[in-house]
Chain A
Amino acid sequence: MPDTFFMALAGGICIGLATVFLMITLGRIGGISGIVFSAVKNPIEYSWAILFLAGLILGAFLFHFISGHPIPIFEVPIPLMLAGGFIVGVGTKLGSGCTSGHGICGIGRLSVRSIIATCTFLLLGFITVYLRLHGSVA
């Protein structure tokens, strides 16, 4: 197996441990979309969420700082960034979660809602990328 497979698995284990620690220490679900929303909507009550998000940025920085792994390059047109971001915002609020909340925590809890949500967003992600890269949409 290529190294990237082990890195993905190890990274996933780190993410899983982070959600478990968050539940053990603060009793909260490690769903990023919910944490982001709470942190901005009610920063005083959710000061922990702000610290968690600061850690998220710090952690990503630390990985590249320690490993020397090159920083990924983002070449996405700005209108697409804006549209994608907006749709992700609406979708995660409506659907009560994203890849972490439904995909990691929800499936871990064997929540039927989360399993269905995860299958749905994966399927639509597959279809969207297919249409974008291989579809002949005139």
Chain B
Amino acid sequence: MKLLMALLCGTLFGFGLALSGMTDIANVIGFLDLFGNWNPTLAFVMVGGILVSLPFFQFGLGKIKAPLFADVFRLPTKTDIDGRLICGAALFGIGWGLVGLCPGPAIGSLAYLDIDILYFGVAMLTGMFVTDFVDRSLTAKS
């Protein structure tokens, strides 16, 4: 049941990505071209998403004791605003601006069977694992 729910949530997410236009690089670059020829369309994706997530996390979640198919809600616990967060977000923004793909659309677009997307995905995973490896080496040393 848990796996079926995961598949359904993923499918709805992927459907939303394609419907919204997030899987079209030209659209994304148009949205990020704020200081040039701005196409505001994709701002509505975030508006739509937050329109649902905000009321849920602020008012709905507190009324539910536990998830339907898991023991506990796993919410992020970090609260520190540090260089790591800022540098990470900054790098992510640069990579996003270079190609026009963020992780969700990068995976969803695999549906288009375009080999170029796979290059992006493999490079993205490499970046994540290199960072994770360096992280763990540094923690082990200190």
Contact = CB atoms under 8 A, between A and B. Distances in A.
* Co-complex (A, B): yes
Interface string A12-37: 11111111111111111110110011
A4 B21 contact: yes
Nearest to B26: A72
Contacts of B90: 91, 95, 120-121, 124
A116 B11 CA distance: 29
B68 to A, nearest CB: 5
A17 B79 CA distance: 25
A90 B128 contact: yes
A138 interface: no
Given A60-B15, A128-B94, A93 B45 contact: no
A84 interface: yes
Interface in B14-55: 14-27, 29, 32-37, 41-54
Contacts of A89: 95, 123-131
A110 B56 CA distance: 11
Interface in B85-142: 85-104, 106-112, 114, 116-117, 119-132, 135
Nearest to A17: B52
A111 to B, nearest CB: 7
A127 B53 CA distance: 28
A40 interface: yes
Given A93-B131, A125-B96, A55 B84 contact: no
29 contacts: A8-B21, A13-B48, A14-B48, A20-B56, A22-B5, A24-B68, A36-B128, A55-B9, A55-B11, A56-B10, A56-B13, A57-B110, A59-B108, A72-B27, A74-B117, A78-B119, A85-B120, A85-B123, A92-B124, A93-B127, A93-B135, A95-B90, A104-B49, A108-B54, A124-B89, A124-B94, A127-B97, A128-B94, A133-B33
Given A58-B11, A116-B81, A129-B36, 16 more contacts: A8-B48, A14-B16, A14-B48, A20-B56, A26-B9, A32-B102, A33-B128, A72-B23, A84-B123, A88-B99, A90-B128, A91-B93, A93-B135, A100-B104, A108-B52, A117-B88
